[in-house]
Structure 1
Amino acid sequence: MENVVLIIHLLLALSLIGIVLMQRSEGGGLGMGSSGPSTAGRSAATAMSKMTWILAAAFICTSIILTILAAENSAGTSVIDRAGAPIGGTDDSPATTPALPSADDLLPPSTDDTAPLAPTAD
């Protein structure tokens, strides 16, 4: 079920991208550079804009459905619950935690002021 909805979601996304790219550019975002009177109001909806709204609504619906399916598959466990679980261990072999590095390994290498940085050519 989840795979079917995911494929439909992908097809909707690609269709939405295609239909938006096929639409005529109205020119200038935020109302700048429009060729008509600025008080004209809303223009009539074309078939392309109606199809864009339909695809966008279907895309949002499939997004919500995928979210619900993912929440059902999580089986009520959270990341915090899984953080306390042993890492990579099974019931037969307990998990081992990696050792922390010493504080000396975390510091940058020290430089000796008396030693020359580069050999000098005489």
Structure 2
Amino acid sequence: MQNVLLVILLLLALALIIVVLMQRSEGGGLGMGGGGGGGGMMSGRGAASALSKVTWIIAAAFLSLCVALTIIAARESGNSSVLDRLGTEQPAGDVDTTLPGDLQGDLLPPTGGLELPPAAE
């Protein structure tokens, strides 16, 4: 189910990109350029071309699908974590902390008292 919705979301994203790039640039931000008689989204008249209406419809579908996917993912995850689903839990006692060969004495702190190893000359 999620995979199908993700494919639809991808197609909506591509359609939204194409529709936005097809629109005529009027200069200025948020459609506030292009003269006094423009019909941008921010104007008082609110007259919108068919292409901008399609943009709003695709954007609304995109956002609602994002919310739907979020709700579905939250329901399926429940209270489990990613580590619970992996099933590769290892008890803490099974971890091997020994170092190979002669490195073990050099890297570990001295044991017992305040004795320090002799300094190399």
- In the alignment, is the contact (CA less than 8 A) between 1:13 and 1:59 conserved in 2? yes
Match of 2:77 among 74, 77, 89: 74
Match of 1:51 among 50, 54, 57: 54
CA deviation map 1:33-62 (0-9, x unaligned): x34238x73452110010001000100111
Alpha carbon RMSD of aligned pairs, Å? 3.7
TM-score (norm 1): 0.59
Q: Distance in 1 between the 2:36 and 2:23 partners?
A: 21
Change (3 A) 1:94 1:68: farther
- In the alignment, is the contact (CA less than 8 A) between 1:89 and 1:95 conserved in 2? no
Report the counterpart of residue 65 of structure 2 in structure 1.
62
How many Å apart are 1:89 and its aligned residue? 3.3
Structure 2 unaligned blocks of 5 or more: 38-42, 99-106, 110-121
Kindly indicate whether structure 1 or structure 2 has the higher relative contact order, using CA contacts under 8 Å at least 6 residues apart: 1
Return the letter of the residue paired with 2:13. Answer: A
Q: Distance in 1 between the 2:26 and 2:108 partners?
A: 63
Q: Give every structure 1 segment of 4 or more consecutive aligned residues whose post-TM-superposition deviation is greater than 4 Å.
A: none
Identity of counterpart residues, as a percentage?
A: 52
Structure 1 unaligned blocks of 5 or more: 83-87, 104-122
TM-score (norm 2): 0.59
